[in-house]
Amino acid sequence: MVETSAASSSPAERGDPSPPATGRFGARLRPVAGRWSQIVNICLLVAGLALGQGTIFIVQTVLLAAGEYELLAAFATHYSFAILGIIVVDAGANITLARAVVRLSAEDRPHAEAWQMFCDTSVIRLLTALVIGAAATLYVLVFSSDGFSRWYVMSALPGLLLWSVNGVGLLDGQKLSGISGMTGAIAYVTSAVGLMLAMRGSHEAAGAILGGAFSIGYLVTLIAQWAVLAGRGWHPQLHKPTWAGLTQALKDGCALSFQIVPGQINMRVQLVLSAAYLGAETTALFVYAKQIVTAATQVLQFVLRVEFPGLVEKLSGAGRQGLAGIIGAQKLTLFCAVMFSVGATAVAGIVAVVSEGGLHRAAVVIAGFAPTILTVALLQMTWQGLAALGAYAASAWALAIGAAAGIAASYLLVSQLHVFAFAAAEVVLNLTTLYVGFRYLRR
144, 74 Cβ separation under 8 angstroms: no
At residue 110, the pLDDT reads 65
249 exposure class (CB count in 10 Å sphere: 0-12, 13-18, 19+): buried
If one counts every other C-beta atom within 10 angstroms of the C-beta of residue 165, the result is 18
The dihedral formed by the CA atoms of 331, 388, 183 and 216, expressed in degrees to the nearest 10:
-150
pLDDT, tens digit (0-9, with 9 covering 90-100), for 396-443: 788 888 889 999 999 999 999 998 999 999 999 989 988 887 777 776
pLDDT, tens digit (0-9, with 9 covering 90-100), for 61-93: 677 667 676 777 677 768 877 888 888 888 778
At residue 414, the pLDDT reads 92
pLDDT, tens digit (0-9, with 9 covering 90-100), for 285-331: 776 677 678 778 878 877 776 777 667 767 666 555 666 767 777 77
pLDDT, tens digit (0-9, with 9 covering 90-100), for 258-279: 766 666 677 767 877 887 888 7
At residue 417, the pLDDT reads 92
Average pLDDT over residues 208-233: 93
279, 419 Cβ separation under 8 angstroms: no
pLDDT band at 31 (very low <50, low <70, confident <90, very high): low
Which of helix, strand or coil describes residue 238?
coil
pLDDT band at 8 (very low <50, low <70, confident <90, very high): very low
The answer to which of 12-26, 106-120, 189-203, 264-278 has the lowest mean pLDDT is 12-26
pLDDT, tens digit (0-9, with 9 covering 90-100), for 132-156: 999 999 988 888 788 888 999 999 9
